[in-house]
């Protein structure tokens, strides 16, 4: 499956596996496909199949392993970083927008009170 949309913009066409792997590359840094597969609890063949469209869309890049010529390293590209940053920003705004648009003032206060209680629970 291609991660490119008709207009050439990757992102909304990412499968859940591709999105998860892209985030894993961001958090883990340069990694071999086998390392990524282990971290994602997937078979190496599955990880390679998931990586292929990400490489083709220039969201990740492949580099030779510095000490093992049989291995490659997968690194998040600038385009991949930009895409994840945009998705993170967009997703962080969604709850606030939904609360403002869909809840009346009394319900908004209830959500704010619940958020305060949840923060207190998290502090202990």
Give the CATH number of the domain where residue 28 resides.
Answer: 1.10.10.10
Cross-strand pairs, 73? 63
User: Which residue range(s) make up the domain with 47?
Assistant: 16-92
Looking at the domain assignment, is residue 72 inside a domain?
yes
pTM of the model: 0.66
Name which residue leads in pLDDT, 15 or 7.
15
Q: What is the pLDDT of residues 83-119, one digit of tens each?
A: 999 888 777 666 777 887 888 888 888 988 888 888 8
Q: What is the pLDDT of residues 55-89, one digit of tens each?
A: 999 999 999 999 998 999 999 999 999 999 988 87
Give the chain's domain count: 1
Between the alpha carbon of residue 25 and those of residues 73, 79, 123, the distances in Å are 10, 13, 30
């Amino acid at each position: 499956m291609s991660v490119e949309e008709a207009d050439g913009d990757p992102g909304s066409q990412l499968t859940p596996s591709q999105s998860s792997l892209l985030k894993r590359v961001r958090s883990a840094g340069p990694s071999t496909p086998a390392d990524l597969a282990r971290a994602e609890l997937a078979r190496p063949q599955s990880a390679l199949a998931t990586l292929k469209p990400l490489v083709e869309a220039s969201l990740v890049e492949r580099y030779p392993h510095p000490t093992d010529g049989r291995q490659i390293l997968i690194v998040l590209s600038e385009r991949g970083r930009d895409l994840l940053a945009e998705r993170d920003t967009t997703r962080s705004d969604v709850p606030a927008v939904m609360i403002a648009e869909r809840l009346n003032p009394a319900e908004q206060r209830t959500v704010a009170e619940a958020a305060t209680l949840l923060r207190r629970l998290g502090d202990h």
